[in-house]
Amino acid sequence: MVKKVAFINGKGGCGKTTSIFHVAGVLAVDGEKVLVIDLDKQRNTTDTLLMNTDKPEKSVFDFMKGTADADEVTKKSLFQSRANATPKYYGIDCMAASIELENEETLRNIDYSDFQDKLNEFIQTQGYAWVLVDMPPSNKALNYICFSCIVDFVIVPFSSDIYSISGYGDIMETIDDARAVNPSLNILGVYLARYMKNCAVDRFIKEQLEEFDTFIPVQIPLCADVREAVMFGRPISFYKSKSESRKAYERLTKEMIKRIEM
C-alpha cells in the first residue's frame, strides 16, 4: 500500500515544510521512493526541493485543471552529498506549487474524478512508496481536494508558543473538517515540530498535549542544523549522522509508519 500523508495545521510557521523536507530525507535514505506534492501557494517546498533542478513551467494547479499531465509538473529533487558535490537524485520527486493555488473559486469548479484517476496511475507507474502533501494554512477548497482525493492520513506539526494551546482547538476543527470530507481518513496525530526543552513554556505545552490521545511522543528540537540543512538543500539524514534532530526525524518517521500500519 502506498502511504499518503498530508501535513496540515491551520496556522502557518509551525514546521510543515521543514518536517516534510526532513521526513522525505529519512525515507530516501531507507531507499523509499517519495512523491512530495506542494499545495501551498507560497512554494517553499517546491523552491527547497527543486533548488538544484529546473522548475516545471506548469504546476499541480494545471494538473488538477486537466491542462497538464502529472509528469509535466513533477521534477526530481537533486541534493548535494557535501558542499560543491554534483547534485544527485535520491528518489524524492516534487510536484510543484504555484501562486494560482490561491484561486479557490477555480479550484471549487474542477471535476476531480479525472485528477484522482490520473494521480493514482502516476503514483503506480512511478512506483512511489510514499506521498507527502504540504498543505497551506487555510484553503477550504484545497483541504477538500486533499482529504477526498489524495491522502489517507493526516499529521499535524505543532509549534509551541504561548498561543498554541488555543490553536489546538483550531487543529481539532481542521481534523473534524477532514473527517467530514472523508470519514475513513486516519489521523496520525499531533507532534511538537519546533521544541525547546530548556524553555518552560514548551515543557508546559508538552505536558498539556500529553493529555490528548492524538499526541505523538516525539519532539523535533528547535535548532540551527534543521534550518541550515534546508538552506543547503540537503535533508539532515543525508549527512549529520550524530545530530539529535536527525534522530528525532527518524523517530517521527518510525512513529508514522507504526501508526499507519496499526
Ligand X SMILES: Nc1ncnc2c1ncn2[C@@H]1O[C@H](COP(=O)(O)OP(=O)(O)O)[C@@H](O)[C@H]1O
Question: What does 217 interact with, of Mg ion, ligand X, none (CB < 5 to 8 A by kind)?
Answer: none
Among residues 197, 227, 254, 258, which is the contact residue for ligand X, using CB under 6 A? 227
DSSP the chain: --EEEEE--SSSSSSHHHHHHHHHHHHHHTT--EEEEE--TT-HHHHHHTTTSPPPSS-HHHHHHTSS-GGGSEEEEEE-SSTTSPPEEEEEEEEPP-GGGG-HHHHHT--HHHHHHHHHHHHHHHT-SEEEEEPPSS-HHHHHHIIIII-SEEEEEE--STTHHHHHHHHHHHHHHHHHH-TT-EEEEEEEEEE-TT-HHHHHHHHHHTTSTTEEEEEEE--HHHHHHHHHT--GGGT-TT-HHHHHHHHHHHHHHHHHH-
Verify binding: residue 12, ligand X, rule CB under 6 A. yes
Among residues 17, 46, 139, 159, which is the contact residue for Mg ion, using CB under 5 A? 17
Verify binding: residue 16, ligand X, rule CB under 6 A. yes
Among residues 44, 46, 98, 245, which is the contact residue for Mg ion, using CB under 5 A? 44
Q: Based on CB atoms, which residue is closest to Mg ion, 27 or 193?
A: 193
Question: What does 18 interact with, of ligand X, Mg ion, none (CB < 5 to 8 A by kind)?
Answer: ligand X
Q: At what angle do helices 16-29 and 244-261 cross, to 10 degrees?
A: 80
Q: Based on CB atoms, which residue is closest to Mg ion, 44 or 164?
A: 44
Among residues 78, 110, 223, 260, which is the contact residue for ligand X, using CB under 6 A? 223
Q: Mark residues 166-195: x for contact with ligand X by CB under 6 A, - for none.
A: ---------------------------xx-
Verify binding: residue 139, ligand X, rule CB under 6 A. no
Longest dimension (CA), the chain: 51
Residues 29-88 that bind ligand X (CB under 6 A): 44
Verify binding: residue 222, ligand X, rule CB under 6 A. yes
Q: Which three cell numbers stand for residue 3?
A: 502511504
Contacting range for Mg ion; rule: CB under 5 A; set: 36-44, 55-63, 139-147, 226-234: 36-44
Separation between Cα atoms, residue 26 and residue 152, nearest integer Å: 20
Verify binding: residue 17, ligand X, rule CB under 6 A. yes
Task: Please report how close the Cβ of residue 17 comes to ligand X at its closest, in angstroms.
Answer: 3
Verify binding: residue 234, ligand X, rule CB under 6 A. no
Enumerate binding residues for ligand X (CB under 6 A). Answer: 12-18, 44, 193-194, 220, 222-223, 226-227, 230
List contacts with Mg ion (CB under 5 A). Answer: 16-17, 44
